[in-house]
Protein backbone atom coordinates (compact mmCIF):
# COMPACT_ATOMS: atom_id res chain seq x y z
CA UNK A 1 0.00 0.00 0.00
CA UNK A 2 1.47 3.37 -1.05
CA UNK A 3 1.47 6.40 1.25
CA UNK A 4 -1.15 7.99 -0.99
CA UNK A 5 -3.48 5.01 -0.71
CA UNK A 6 -2.79 4.81 3.05
CA UNK A 7 -3.86 8.41 3.51
CA UNK A 8 -6.95 7.69 1.43
CA UNK A 9 -7.73 4.86 3.84
CA UNK A 10 -7.43 7.30 6.74
CA UNK A 11 -9.78 9.70 4.97
CA UNK A 12 -12.22 6.82 4.43
CA UNK A 13 -12.03 5.99 8.14
CA UNK A 14 -12.98 9.54 9.05
CA UNK A 15 -15.83 9.44 6.55
CA UNK A 16 -17.14 6.16 7.95
CA UNK A 17 -16.93 7.39 11.53
CA UNK A 18 -18.92 10.45 10.46
CA UNK A 19 -21.51 8.12 8.92
CA UNK A 20 -21.70 6.11 12.14
CA UNK A 21 -21.94 9.36 14.09
CA UNK A 22 -24.91 10.46 12.01
CA UNK A 23 -26.72 7.21 12.83
CA UNK A 24 -25.97 7.70 16.52
CA UNK A 25 -27.24 11.30 16.43
CA UNK A 26 -30.45 10.07 14.79
CA UNK A 27 -30.84 7.41 17.48
CA UNK A 28 -30.45 9.93 20.32
CA UNK A 29 -32.85 12.39 18.68
CA UNK A 30 -35.37 9.61 18.01
CA UNK A 31 -35.18 8.32 21.57
CA UNK A 32 -35.80 11.77 23.04
CA UNK A 33 -38.60 12.51 20.61
CA UNK A 34 -40.22 9.16 21.40
CA UNK A 35 -40.19 9.98 25.12
CA UNK A 36 -41.53 13.52 24.81
CA UNK A 37 -44.21 12.56 22.26
CA UNK A 38 -45.01 9.21 23.92
CA UNK A 39 -44.29 7.48 20.61
CA UNK A 40 -43.58 3.83 21.40
CA UNK A 41 -43.38 2.90 17.71
CA UNK A 42 -40.54 5.38 17.23
CA UNK A 43 -38.89 4.04 20.38
CA UNK A 44 -38.96 0.55 18.90
CA UNK A 45 -37.37 1.86 15.69
CA UNK A 46 -34.49 3.24 17.76
CA UNK A 47 -34.05 -0.13 19.45
CA UNK A 48 -34.23 -2.02 16.15
CA UNK A 49 -31.60 0.25 14.57
CA UNK A 50 -28.95 -0.50 17.19
CA UNK A 51 -27.66 -3.64 15.47
CA UNK A 52 -26.66 -1.60 12.41
CA UNK A 53 -24.65 0.78 14.60
CA UNK A 54 -22.93 -2.16 16.30
CA UNK A 55 -22.02 -3.56 12.88
CA UNK A 56 -20.54 -0.23 11.81
CA UNK A 57 -18.38 -0.16 14.94
CA UNK A 58 -17.01 -3.64 14.20
CA UNK A 59 -16.32 -2.79 10.56
CA UNK A 60 -14.40 0.39 11.41
CA UNK A 61 -12.51 -1.37 14.19
CA UNK A 62 -11.40 -4.13 11.82
CA UNK A 63 -10.19 -1.62 9.26
CA UNK A 64 -8.22 0.30 11.90
CA UNK A 65 -6.49 -2.86 13.11
CA UNK A 66 -5.74 -3.92 9.54
CA UNK A 67 -4.09 -0.57 8.81
CA UNK A 68 -1.90 -0.89 11.89
CA UNK A 69 -0.98 -4.48 11.03
CA UNK A 70 -0.13 -3.87 7.36
CA UNK A 71 1.48 -0.45 7.64
CA UNK A 72 4.00 1.26 9.87
CA UNK A 73 2.05 4.44 10.59
CA UNK A 74 3.89 7.61 11.54
CA UNK A 75 3.10 8.99 14.99
CA UNK A 76 0.49 11.45 13.71
CA UNK A 77 -1.23 8.78 11.60
CA UNK A 78 -1.16 6.34 14.51
CA UNK A 79 -2.90 8.94 16.65
CA UNK A 80 -5.67 9.23 14.05
CA UNK A 81 -6.16 5.47 14.06
CA UNK A 82 -6.02 5.24 17.85
CA UNK A 83 -8.43 8.13 18.32
CA UNK A 84 -10.80 6.57 15.80
CA UNK A 85 -10.77 3.25 17.66
CA UNK A 86 -11.57 5.01 20.92
CA UNK A 87 -14.20 7.28 19.38
CA UNK A 88 -16.20 4.44 17.83
CA UNK A 89 -16.37 2.75 21.23
CA UNK A 90 -17.87 5.92 22.70
CA UNK A 91 -20.25 6.25 19.75
CA UNK A 92 -21.49 2.70 20.30
CA UNK A 93 -22.09 3.47 23.96
CA UNK A 94 -23.94 6.65 23.01
CA UNK A 95 -26.25 4.50 20.90
CA UNK A 96 -26.75 2.16 23.86
CA UNK A 97 -27.92 5.08 25.99
CA UNK A 98 -30.36 6.05 23.23
CA UNK A 99 -31.70 2.49 23.27
CA UNK A 100 -32.08 2.62 27.05
CA UNK A 101 -34.10 5.85 26.80
CA UNK A 102 -36.26 4.26 24.09
CA UNK A 103 -36.90 1.26 26.35
CA UNK A 104 -37.99 3.61 29.12
CA UNK A 105 -40.45 5.22 26.68
CA UNK A 106 -41.98 1.80 26.01
CA UNK A 107 -41.99 0.97 29.73
CA UNK A 108 -43.87 4.17 30.56
CA UNK A 109 -46.41 3.63 27.80
CA UNK A 110 -49.17 6.23 27.76
CA UNK A 111 -49.28 6.98 31.49
CA UNK A 112 -49.49 10.73 32.16
CA UNK A 113 -46.28 12.39 33.26
CA UNK A 114 -46.14 13.15 36.99
CA UNK A 115 -44.74 16.58 36.11
CA UNK A 116 -44.18 18.60 32.93
CA UNK A 117 -40.94 17.63 31.21
CA UNK A 118 -38.84 20.79 31.21
CA UNK A 119 -35.29 20.00 32.26
CA UNK A 120 -35.09 16.64 30.47
CA UNK A 121 -35.67 18.26 27.04
CA UNK A 122 -33.09 20.90 28.01
CA UNK A 123 -30.62 18.16 28.87
CA UNK A 124 -31.44 16.51 25.55
CA UNK A 125 -30.68 19.68 23.60
CA UNK A 126 -27.34 20.16 25.35
CA UNK A 127 -26.37 16.50 24.99
CA UNK A 128 -27.24 16.44 21.29
CA UNK A 129 -25.29 19.65 20.73
CA UNK A 130 -22.26 18.17 22.47
CA UNK A 131 -22.38 15.02 20.34
CA UNK A 132 -22.78 17.08 17.17
CA UNK A 133 -19.81 19.29 18.05
CA UNK A 134 -17.68 16.31 19.10
CA UNK A 135 -18.23 14.74 15.68
CA UNK A 136 -17.58 18.02 13.88
CA UNK A 137 -14.36 18.47 15.86
CA UNK A 138 -13.26 14.97 14.86
CA UNK A 139 -14.03 15.46 11.18
CA UNK A 140 -12.34 18.89 11.05
CA UNK A 141 -9.58 17.85 13.49
CA UNK A 142 -10.49 20.97 15.47
CA UNK A 143 -9.07 20.85 19.00
CA UNK A 144 -10.48 24.30 19.89
CA UNK A 145 -14.03 23.17 19.12
CA UNK A 146 -13.44 20.04 21.19
CA UNK A 147 -12.32 22.15 24.16
CA UNK A 148 -15.36 24.41 23.85
CA UNK A 149 -17.70 21.42 23.65
CA UNK A 150 -16.23 19.78 26.76
CA UNK A 151 -16.86 22.94 28.80
CA UNK A 152 -20.62 22.41 28.38
CA UNK A 153 -20.61 19.11 30.26
CA UNK A 154 -21.08 20.88 33.61
CA UNK A 155 -24.46 22.15 32.34
CA UNK A 156 -25.68 18.56 32.07
CA UNK A 157 -24.36 17.75 35.53
CA UNK A 158 -26.21 20.77 36.95
CA UNK A 159 -29.50 19.85 35.25
CA UNK A 160 -29.20 16.24 36.41
CA UNK A 161 -28.85 17.39 40.03
CA UNK A 162 -31.77 19.77 39.53
CA UNK A 163 -34.00 16.96 38.22
CA UNK A 164 -32.93 14.72 41.10
CA UNK A 165 -33.69 17.43 43.66
CA UNK A 166 -37.11 17.99 42.08
CA UNK A 167 -38.20 14.36 41.78
CA UNK A 168 -37.10 13.09 45.19
CA UNK A 169 -39.60 15.28 47.12
CA UNK A 170 -42.37 14.27 44.70
CA UNK A 171 -41.67 10.61 45.46
CA UNK A 172 -41.64 11.38 49.18
CA UNK A 173 -45.05 13.05 49.04
CA UNK A 174 -46.71 10.44 46.84
CA UNK A 175 -45.29 6.89 46.76
CA UNK A 176 -47.41 6.08 43.69
CA UNK A 177 -45.10 8.35 41.65
CA UNK A 178 -41.98 6.35 42.52
CA UNK A 179 -41.97 3.98 39.49
CA UNK A 180 -42.25 6.77 36.91
CA UNK A 181 -40.00 9.18 38.80
CA UNK A 182 -37.32 6.50 38.93
CA UNK A 183 -37.58 6.02 35.16
CA UNK A 184 -37.30 9.77 34.56
CA UNK A 185 -34.20 9.85 36.77
CA UNK A 186 -32.76 7.07 34.63
CA UNK A 187 -33.43 9.17 31.51
CA UNK A 188 -31.56 12.09 33.08
CA UNK A 189 -28.72 9.75 34.03
CA UNK A 190 -28.47 8.45 30.45
CA UNK A 191 -28.36 12.02 29.12
CA UNK A 192 -25.62 12.90 31.60
CA UNK A 193 -23.67 9.86 30.43
CA UNK A 194 -24.16 10.93 26.80
CA UNK A 195 -22.38 14.15 27.73
CA UNK A 196 -19.56 12.13 29.30
CA UNK A 197 -19.07 10.08 26.14
CA UNK A 198 -19.14 13.21 23.97
CA UNK A 199 -16.45 14.59 26.28
CA UNK A 200 -14.42 11.41 25.78
CA UNK A 201 -14.58 11.88 22.00
CA UNK A 202 -13.50 15.48 22.44
CA UNK A 203 -10.52 14.36 24.50
CA UNK A 204 -9.52 11.93 21.75
CA UNK A 205 -9.81 14.69 19.15
CA UNK A 206 -7.45 16.83 21.23
CA UNK A 207 -5.04 13.90 21.48
CA UNK A 208 -5.29 13.24 17.74
CA UNK A 209 -4.48 16.86 16.90
CA UNK A 210 -1.97 17.80 19.60
CA UNK A 211 -0.60 14.53 20.94
CA UNK A 212 -1.70 15.56 24.45
CA UNK A 213 -3.74 13.03 26.44
CA UNK A 214 -5.67 14.82 29.16
CA UNK A 215 -8.66 13.90 31.31
CA UNK A 216 -10.95 16.92 31.07
CA UNK A 217 -14.17 15.41 32.42
CA UNK A 218 -13.74 16.35 36.06
Report the share of the chain in percent with pLDDT over 90. Answer: 85
- Res 7: pLDDT: 78
Q: How far is CA 11 from the centre of its chain?
A: 22
**What pTM was computed for the model?**
0.93
pLDDT at 148: 96
Where does the pLDDT of residue 10 fall: very low under 50, low under 70, confident under 90, or very high at 90 and above? confident
What CATH number has the domain spanning 3-210? Answer: 1.20.58.220
| Confidence (pLDDT) at 8 | 86
Residue 2 has pLDDT above 70, yes or no: no
Amino acid sequence: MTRQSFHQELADLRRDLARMGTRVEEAIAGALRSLIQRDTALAQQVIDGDDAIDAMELEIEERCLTLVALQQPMASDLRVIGATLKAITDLERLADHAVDIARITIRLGDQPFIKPLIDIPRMGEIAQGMVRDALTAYIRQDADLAYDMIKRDHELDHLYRQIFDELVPIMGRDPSTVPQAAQLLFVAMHLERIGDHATNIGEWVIYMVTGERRELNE
